Amino acid sequence: MAAPDHKHKKLESRLGYAFTEVALLEEALTHVSAGNSGISYQRLEFLGDRVLGLVVSNMLFEAFPAAPEGELSKRLADLVSKESCAAIAREWQLTLHLRLGEGESRSGAGKRDPLLGDACEAVIGAVYRDGGFAAAEKLIRTHWQPRMTATALVPKDAKTLLQELVQAEGLPVPMYRDIGRS
């Protein structure tokens, strides 16, 4: 088993996790545009997304024992959103470690929420593959707990916020028409 790679020691310190298999971390930090023989974070992102959802669901279930399913779902959606994952990625300073292709790098993609959110989930997937569920759960609890307890308010979706805004202004409730789904 490989010793931790020196160039990622600071990142591992911010994560609170030292990798046994550094190649997993390298994969988690590699965007498809880097052109590394088909290696990219996409598969680890898929896995990390599911691990994150399970752990955060359990955290919410424990923290809000009287909350109905709808409230738990809203809280979960907010905590595992690309924006929340991107914020965590910024705390971890993932931008400094991402391996991007030249075009992605020039365009500033490594600083955008979608890419950072994906990379965050990939790192979670890498921790899960390297250290198992307990290691991934510890990582998630450590970094998501403060966000979960930061506000007692249930996050509102965009439609609810719009309806509250127009009602506060004395305007009629908006009419909605489904023009397509994708």
What string of DSSP letters covers 18-55? --SSHHHHHHHTB-GGG-BTTB-THHHHHHHHHHHHHH
Of 26, 104, 118, 121, the active-site residue reads 121
Max intra-chain CA distance, the chain: 66
Q: Active-site residue 49, yes or no?
A: yes
Q: Active-site residue 121, yes or no?
A: yes
Of 26, 49, 104, 130, the active-site residue reads 49
Query: Are the C-beta atoms of 139 and 72 separated by less than 8 Å?
Result: no
Cα–Cα distance, 154 to 148 (Å, whole number): 10
Query: Are the C-beta atoms of 129 and 47 separated by less than 8 Å?
Result: yes
> Any residues with CB less than 8 A from the CB of 44 and at least 6 apart, and which?
24, 27, 28, 121, 122, 123, 125, 126, 129
Catalytic positions, written as ranges: 49, 121
